[in-house]
Structure 1
Amino acid sequence: MTKIRFLPDDITVEAQVGEPLLEVADRAGVFIPTGCLMGSCHACDVELEDGHCICACIAAVPAGREYLTINLFVDPTW
């Protein structure tokens, strides 16, 4: 199990390795906007604690991590 912390709301939920991030967020009551659901429009970009951005629609909980912090930001043009 990995603990996923969503900021700025500071919501933490446990997730299984390989579980899609959008499903984890939904289960936690966290909204991540989506567009194409294929990773090309970047509407679902989230920032990891190390500063890297990923597309939540095509990302899953990675192996080998006990904790993962995801910073949500919303692009006002979406």
Structure 2
Amino acid sequence: MSVLIRFLPDNVTVEAEVGEPILDVAERAGISIPTGCLMGSCHACEVEIEDGPTICSCITGVPPGREKLTINLYSDPTW
């Protein structure tokens, strides 16, 4: 099952499969998300799911049950 993922503020939309790591989806779409440990410990790759939680994109897959998903990117100047 595929989900349309929209990355803000870049306004880039890409199709992704349920379970696919969000960090991989972003990379495929040409979106750069800062990373650190790639295990979710450092929180460098945090993004915000619209109407949902802040998650670590390196360890979180595309969730099931949605046709569309908007992800808000923000940058931490310390990274």
TM score, norm. by length of structure 1: 0.97
Residue 41 of structure 1: how far off its partner (Å) = 0.5
What's 2:7 paired with? 6
What's 2:60 paired with? 59
What's 1:69 paired with? 70
Letter in 1 for 2:59: I
TM score, norm. by length of structure 2: 0.95
Q: Deviations over 1:3-56 (max 9, x none)?
A: 000000000000001111111001100000000111011000001101510000
Q: SS of the counterpart of 1:58?
A: coil
Q: SS of the counterpart of 1:22?
A: helix
Give the CA RMSD over aligned residues: 0.7
> Partners of 2:51 and 2:8 in 1: how far apart?
14
> Partners of 1:3 and 1:23 in 2: how far apart?
14
- Unaligned ranges ≥5, structure 2: none
Letter in 2 for 1:30: I
- Unaligned ranges ≥5, structure 1: none
4+ residue segments displaced more than 6 Å: none
Identity %: 72
